[in-house]
Structure 1
Amino acid sequence: MEDFKFDVGEIKKEHEHSIIDCTFTWEVPDFLDRTEKAIRSPSFSFLKADGQWADFNMVVFPKGKTKESKYITMWFRLNGNCEPDWFTFTIKIKNDEEFNPKNWFPSPTFFDTTKNENCFEDLEFKKNSTLVQNRETLLPNGAITFLVNIKNEIRERKPDPSEDLAQDLDYVFPELEFTDFTIICGEKRFPCHAFMLTARSEVFYGMLKSDFKEKINMELRIDTIQPDIVYEMLRFIYTAQVEDMSLEKTMDLLKAADQYQLLGLKDICGTRLVKKLTNDTVFSLLILGDTYQEENLKGKAIMHAVKNAKTLIKTPGWELTTREHPRLMIEVTSHLIQDKDSE
């Protein structure tokens, strides 16, 4: 890693609010002429509001992370002891006065390290064409200067009785007692509580409120879902927690969540599947998001397909999806045209 010019800006301290406000600059020479794919910044160290030191670093991809990308792409990662803190950061290019949220980040981006958030990846920062067109202003002598502002605030956490409830339910879930209802899946039997099922799922509520056989027998047979998926569905019903699962299992869990109207579980699965978007998975996840009305997953899959269209259009997945899901691929094509028009 080269030793780039690195200056620490003004540090503002507001101890009455437990806030630290720091601004850093990172100058990268010959930015548009660099041959390496990624450039890593030095570590930026700062004294947090709690008196402990922390540091962060950035990685910038001058020509984007992929060949098809039209944007500078950035990563930002907090290091060190960062719990239980709350951070915001802002990045912009020196001398850039435009206010266009699509191209840069003037509004704060949040980190909540109490939720293990310490890294943002693949931030599409600014179009390469914009840098070329404004070379004299944004790249004086060929160098780009990033201005990075980071704020750290310590928020006092008040005891939350609901956390005790969640912990207690998580503790008892593996071996439930005093049960009054049973879900049968293959050779597996899952004893559980009718009141929990009805409180968490409109489907279970309707099933057990009416005189269906499930209410009469106080049991439900499920033949369309695998036992491990049923177990994870019940885990969510009791604890609002979900184990990490493979791509296929997460897709199956989303389908089960949709079937039993567990909207919170469906959102969790959709969010996790977004992180599994690749050129190999994009079409199956696009179809899944559309079929089960998981709009965030569908939207991110469309964005991925548009961003990587030059590669994907040559694959069997593009042809198969076009043939079997023409309406869906019309949406992808429409976004692709809009993207080209905006260049």
Structure 2
Amino acid sequence: MSEETSISSPSVITPEHPSVVYSYKTTQTNNARWLYLEDIYQKFYRPYIYDLGGTYIEDVADYWFQYKTDLISGVFLLHIFVLNRNDGPFSVAITTTNVMEFEKKSSCVFLQSSLKEFKFPKVKELKQNYLATFSFKEIDVELLKGKQFYIPITFIVNELDDELVERVKSKHDFGYLLKEPLCSDFTIEASDGYKFQVHQALLAESSEVFKAMFKDETAESQRRYLKLSDVSKEDLQCVLEFIYTGTIAEVENCNIFNILQLADQFNLGGLHDLCQYVLTQHLSTDNALETLQYADFYNAGFLKKATLKMIRNNKDIIKSSMFKELKSVELARELCEYLAL
């Protein structure tokens, strides 16, 4: 749990506001600030599990919230749960106080905004994750009659990125050896002639492809030199930075499609995962078909699944000229079958 943060109660808010999670309204995950619990007064007297609503990235479902009401010995309990639509880590912050604030100029009631963060490091798709429980006395519930009830919440996007980086990060950071290649014993040349002085041990530890190259009596191992005629200096720099440090400091500045290709080519699993995550975060209706082709060709299963979901939720994508340019007949068939589900 992190330090407490807060969200100011808005002067005017409705369930249709972009920051409110409610029903099947497509609230963007990075905009989500409030959970709206409709008819909460009645539902306190009808203990059950209720769907609350979800958040999205573009039009792709990202998270889904549920809540459960209980009445035990005169105490009304409200339990909040979140389901993640994809495998992987995430962090969410929610208030943990039951102190209510009443908006005088409207019928809105807000739980006091003092957020605490909850981290979920390794979570399977569609797992129901418990967040918080709030308890109320009968007099509190009576005050909610006819009111719109909001609970403050937010997703910690930066912390999510940190979790992913930690998952793929190496035990040691050897970035200084890439900047000052002390005791280097191998040279890799990019397409523009730029040469990187590297260390066979680090490359072999990160990649089975490099390990096999150095172990066998290949021309590269004999000459201690590898020419990558189709790889730019910038792309090679990103790959080597990951090998030496376990991450890429400015990953947004990399050509991620190219890096995904190289990660697949050299069997760099952690880099492959990182590329899929970055491309998923930038997935849109404009690039979905292009991304799908890359994901299919370079064995990016997670990215492929997210892209198929986006296309199924935005079927007009297949009306674009890009659909006719799909090179893989098998992929086109797979896409059509997925849309028919």
User: Which TM-score tier does this pair reach, normalised by the shorter chain?
Assistant: 0.5 to 0.7
Letter of the aligned partner of 2:317 in structure 1?
A: L
Equivalent position to 1:337, from 329, 332, 340:
340
Separation in 2 of the partners of 1:269 and 1:306? 22
Give the CA RMSD over aligned residues: 4.5
**Structure 2 SS opposite 1:39:** coil
Separation in 1 of the partners of 2:297 and 2:312? 20
Name the residue aligned to 1:254: 260
Separation in 1 of the partners of 2:289 and 2:253? 13
Aligned-pair identity in percent equals 22
Q: Does 1:291 align with 2:297?
A: yes
Name the residue aligned to 1:97: 48
Shift of residue 197 of structure 1?
0.8
Greater helix proportion? 1
Matches for 1:17-28 after TM superposition, within 5 Å: none
1:144–1:301 Cα change, 3 Å: farther
CA contact (8 A) 1:247 1:276 kept: no
Can you list the C-alpha shifts for 1:45-104, whole angstroms capped at 9, x where unaligned? xxxxxxxxxxxxx44487744xxxxxxx3546699xxxxxxxxx9886533833669964
Name the residue aligned to 1:50: none
Equivalent position to 2:188, from 183, 187, 194:
183
Letter of the aligned partner of 2:91 in structure 1?
A: F
Matches for 1:1-343 after TM superposition, within 5 Å: 31=15, 39=17, 58-60=19-21, 64-65=25-26, 73-75=27-29, 93=38, 94=40, 95=43, 97-98=48-49, 104-106=64-66, 107-108=81-82, 110-111=90-91, 145-147=149-151, 166-167=172-173, 169-186=174-191, 187-245=193-251, 249-309=255-315, 311-321=316-326, 324-338=327-341
Shift of residue 236 of structure 1?
0.7
Can you list the C-alpha shifts for 1:86-139, whole angstroms capped at 9, x where unaligned? xxx9886533833669964243475279x9x9xxxxxxxxxxxxxxxxxxxxxx
Letter of the aligned partner of 1:227 in structure 2?
A: K
1:287–1:112 Cα change, 3 Å: same
Shift of residue 219 of structure 1?
1.3
Shift of residue 274 of structure 1?
0.8
Letter of the aligned partner of 1:308 in structure 2?
A: N
Higher relative contact order (CA 8 A, sep 6+): 2
Letter of the aligned partner of 1:268 in structure 2?
A: L
1:91–1:271 Cα change, 3 Å: farther
Shift of residue 289 of structure 1?
0.6
1:303–1:190 Cα change, 3 Å: same
1:298–1:226 Cα change, 3 Å: same
CA contact (8 A) 2:184 2:197 kept: yes
Which segments of 5 or more consecutive residues in structure 1 lack a partner in the other structure? 1-16, 32-37, 41-57, 66-72, 80-88, 118-139, 153-159, 339-343
**Structure 2 SS opposite 1:228:** helix
Shift of residue 285 of structure 1?
0.5
**Structure 1 SS opposite 2:197:** strand
Letter of the aligned partner of 1:329 in structure 2?
A: A
**Structure 1 SS opposite 2:319:** coil
Shift of residue 308 of structure 1?
1.0
CA contact (8 A) 1:181 1:194 kept: yes
Shift of residue 217 of structure 1?
1.1
1:112–1:203 Cα change, 3 Å: farther
Name the residue aligned to 1:43: none
**Structure 2 SS opposite 1:224:** coil
**Structure 2 SS opposite 1:283:** helix
**Structure 2 SS opposite 1:313:** helix
CA contact (8 A) 1:214 1:220 kept: yes
CA contact (8 A) 1:26 1:146 kept: no
Separation in 2 of the partners of 1:18 and 1:183? 43
Letter of the aligned partner of 2:330 in structure 1?
A: R
CA contact (8 A) 1:92 1:148 kept: no
Shift of residue 300 of structure 1?
0.7
Q: TM-score, length-normalised on structure 2? A: 0.58
**Structure 2 SS opposite 1:252:** helix
Separation in 2 of the partners of 1:18 and 1:307? 35
Separation in 1 of the partners of 2:147 and 2:338? 34
Q: TM-score, length-normalised on structure 1? A: 0.58
Separation in 1 of the partners of 2:184 and 2:297? 35
